């Protein structure tokens, strides 16, 4: 990592504009530097990025290699394996049927699929779409091989996949939690095929790919010359290793095996935001925040991960942790909108795609996206030389980050766990320690610090910190 790049980005994130920036040479320079930093920091093989604001192109770039053996460079028209971004196509197709009045979200999916397992008969279409159904996963990973119950590999047919789950226990009571499960989209794929009486891939081609002119987007095995495809890699033992894609059966294409370019996924997002696939009025209704039966916010809405980023509602989805699409809007999709597409073909550290998109948001509009900016600042802090003075960072976190004081402890803690997963426990320790300095009365902050020490093998320190956390929690309960 180059210290000059880190220092330049640090300064940029301190002095930030209040308004959303237009495309500019200065912004391009910052984003170019961030992509270079990301590639060095995480060992990314190749990457391509596209960002828009209100439909206008803000930034598009690519770097690295789509094949590290041939040293073939990534370009903006490189085709990547987008994995579970396939679910966004299925989500749109379901929303189209809802808009047409042909499917009711709160009706049992068994109304449209009478042969679903008996235990699933009362589960609504919405529960499957929002990963709140509680149904079990239809396969397990056995030493790198995906195996469906009762089969040597993946079940040969959709019917066999469902039959294998007929007696499997539910993961949780329907509607009480979210758990991302591929089985949910098997049900939605089956529903779409039952309605259109066509194979799922044909439905996608006719209703999404052809109308939008997406000629380099497809589901399933390679559809373009191998030279156009980015080779997929995974990080193992500190190096990149080639990873062959799963040979998904045709019934699984509603949740996997999407191939596309950043430009064509961007075209899909722009069409969605413009109301060309589903009317904006319909989307406004379907994309409202929802509650689970426990009163907690649902983490998914209409098939998208859903949350808040500053004043924006944030819809996003990843694909195998390597790629991510993110769509943000303020009041409606007809107003202030941002889209971010960040594709990689793998990294040494298996970096989260959400971490990468956060880093670009921090450069594009730090004041508009305070949590993402905080996250990137803390990643930089975690990798800084040990012993560096963190006084300025503490002051910024308390007074200048834009994150509300009542949310600050949780925001720092969340960044700490992201750092632990992406960079390791040692760098994360600095962030968890910083959080206890800023929030010495927080039982949660001390608990997370203890957990990090435990992960590093510091058993005695961890025990002491766990005890401190329990004391603070008990004291908080005792307060009137």
Residue 236 to residue 49: CA distance in whole angstroms:
25
For the entire predicted model, the pTM comes to 0.92
Domain assignment present for residue 443? The answer is yes
Residue 135 and residue 261 in one domain: yes
Task: Pick the more confident residue, 140 or 10.
Answer: 140
Residues present in the chain in total? 480
60, 17, 63, 8: which is closest to 340 by C-alpha?
Answer: 60
Backbone Cα Rg of the chain: 23
- Average pLDDT of the residues of the chain: 92
- Residue 413's H or E segment, with its range, is helix 405-423
CATH code where residue 413 lies? 1.25.40.10
The arithmetic mean of pLDDT across residues 265-281, rounded, is: 96
97 contacts 276 by C-beta, under 8 angstroms = no
Range of the domain at 411: 370-480
Residues 6+ apart with CB under 8 A from 358: 371, 372, 375, 376
Lowest average pLDDT, out of 6-10, 12-16, 112-116, 190-194, goes to 12-16
Q: How many domains are there within the chain? A: 2
Domain stop point among 265, 281, 306: 306
User: 295 and 374, same structural domain?
Assistant: no
Does residue 391 share a domain with residue 292? no
Residues 145 and 223 in one domain: yes
3 state SS of 242: strand
Please name the residue ranges forming H helices in 44-181. 86-99, 125-129, 158-163
Residue 334 within a domain: no
The pLDDT assigned to 439 comes to 97
Domain C-terminal end among 253, 271, 306:
306
Regarding whether 434 and 296 lie in a shared domain, the answer is no
CB 112 within 8 A of CB 268: no
- Over residues 220-271, the pLDDT tens digits come to 987 777 778 999 999 999 999 999 888 999 999 999 999 999 999 999 999 9
294 plus 386 within the same structural domain: no
pLDDT tier, 292 (very low <50, low <70, confident <90, very high otherwise): very high
The reply to whether 209 falls in a domain is yes
Q: Same domain, yes or no, for 302 and 380?
A: no
Burial of 42 (0-12, 13-18, 19+ CB in 10 A): buried
Task: Please report, for the domain that includes residue 175, its CATH number.
Answer: 3.40.710.10
HEC profile for 169-220?
Answer: CCCCCCCCCCCCCHHHHHHHHHHHHHHHCCCHHHHHHHHHHHHHCCCCCEEC
In a domain, 157, yes or no: yes
Higher local confidence (pLDDT), 89 or 3: 89
Q: Rounded distance, CA 345 to CA 243, Å? A: 10
Query: Do the domain assignments include residue 8?
Result: no
For residue 149, what is the DSSP state?
T
Whether 235 is covered by a domain: the verdict is yes
Same-domain status, 299 and 390: no
Q: Is the pLDDT of residue 5 over 50?
A: no
Residue 197 vs residue 244, higher pLDDT: 197
Whole-number pLDDT of residue 221: 83
Residue that terminates a domain, selected from 261, 287, 306: 306
Does residue 330 form part of some domain?
no
pLDDT in tens, 419-445: 999 999 999 999 999 999 999 999 999
The predicted pLDDT at position 23 comes to: 62
Q: Are residues 210 and 94 in the same domain?
A: yes
In which band, very low, low, confident or very high, does the pLDDT at 194 lie, cut at 50, 70 and 90? very high
Secondary structure element (H or E) that encloses residue 344, with its range: strand 337-344
Residues 224, 88: one domain?
yes
CB 52 within 8 A of CB 333: no
């Amino acid at each position: 990592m180059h210290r000059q790049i880190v220092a330049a980005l640090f300064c940029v994130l301190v002095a930030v504009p209040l308004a959303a920036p237009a495309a500019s040479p200065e912004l391009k320079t910052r984003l170019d530097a961030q992509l270079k930093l990301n590639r060095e920091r995480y060992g990314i093989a190749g990457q391509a990025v596209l960002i828009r604001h209100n439909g206008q192109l803000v930034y598009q770039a690519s770097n690295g290699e789509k094949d590290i053996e041939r040293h073939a460079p990534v370009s903006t028209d490189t085709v990547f394996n987008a994995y579970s971004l396939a679910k966004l196509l299925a989500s749109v197709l379901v929303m189209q049927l809802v808009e047409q009045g042909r499917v009711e979200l709160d009706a049992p999916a068994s109304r449209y699929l009478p042969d679903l397992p008996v235990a699933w008969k009362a589960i609504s279409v919405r529960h499957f779409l929002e990963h709140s159904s509680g149904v079990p996963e239809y396969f397990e990973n056995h030493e790198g091989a995906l195996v469906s119950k009762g089969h040597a590999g993946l079940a040969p047919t959709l019917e066999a996949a469902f039959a294998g789950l007929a007696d499997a226990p539910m993961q949780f009571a329907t509607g009480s939690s979210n758990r991302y499960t591929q089985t949910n989209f098997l049900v939605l794929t089956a529903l779409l095929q039952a309605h259109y009486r066509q194979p799922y891939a044909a439905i996608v081609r006719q209703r999404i790919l052809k109308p939008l002119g997406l000629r380099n987007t497809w589901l399933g095995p390679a559809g373009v010359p191998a030279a156009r495809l980015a080779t997929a890699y995974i990080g193992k033992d500190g190096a990149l290793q080639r990873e062959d894609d799963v040979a998904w059966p045709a019934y699984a294409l509603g949740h996997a095996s999407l191939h596309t370019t950043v430009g064509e996924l961007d075209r899909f997002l722009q069409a969605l935001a413009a109301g060309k696939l589903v009317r904006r009025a319909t989307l406004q209704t379907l994309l409202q925040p929802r509650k689970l039966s426990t009163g907690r916010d649902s983490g998914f809405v209409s098939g998208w991960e859903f949350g808040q980023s500053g004043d924006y509602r944030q819809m996003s989805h990843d694909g195998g942790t390597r790629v991510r699409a993110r769509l943000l809007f303020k009041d409606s999709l007809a107003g202030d909108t941002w889209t971010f597409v960040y594709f990689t073909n793998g990294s040494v550290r298996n970096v989260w795609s959400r971490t990468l998109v956060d880093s670009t948001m921090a450069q594009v509009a730090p004041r508009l996206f305070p949590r993402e900016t905080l996250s990137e600042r803390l990643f930089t802090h975690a990798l800084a030389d040990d012993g560096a003075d963190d006084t300025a960072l503490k002051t910024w976190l308390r007074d200048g980050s834009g994150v509300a004081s009542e949310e600050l402890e949780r925001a720092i803690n969340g960044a700490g766990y992201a750092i632990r997963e992406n960079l390791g426990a040692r760098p994360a320790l600095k962030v968890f320690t910083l959080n206890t300095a800023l929030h010495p009365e927080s039982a949660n902050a001390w608990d997370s610090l203890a957990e990090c020490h435990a992960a590093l093998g510091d058993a005695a320190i961890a025990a002491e910190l766990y005890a401190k956390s329990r004391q603070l929690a008990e004291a908080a309960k005792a307060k009137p």
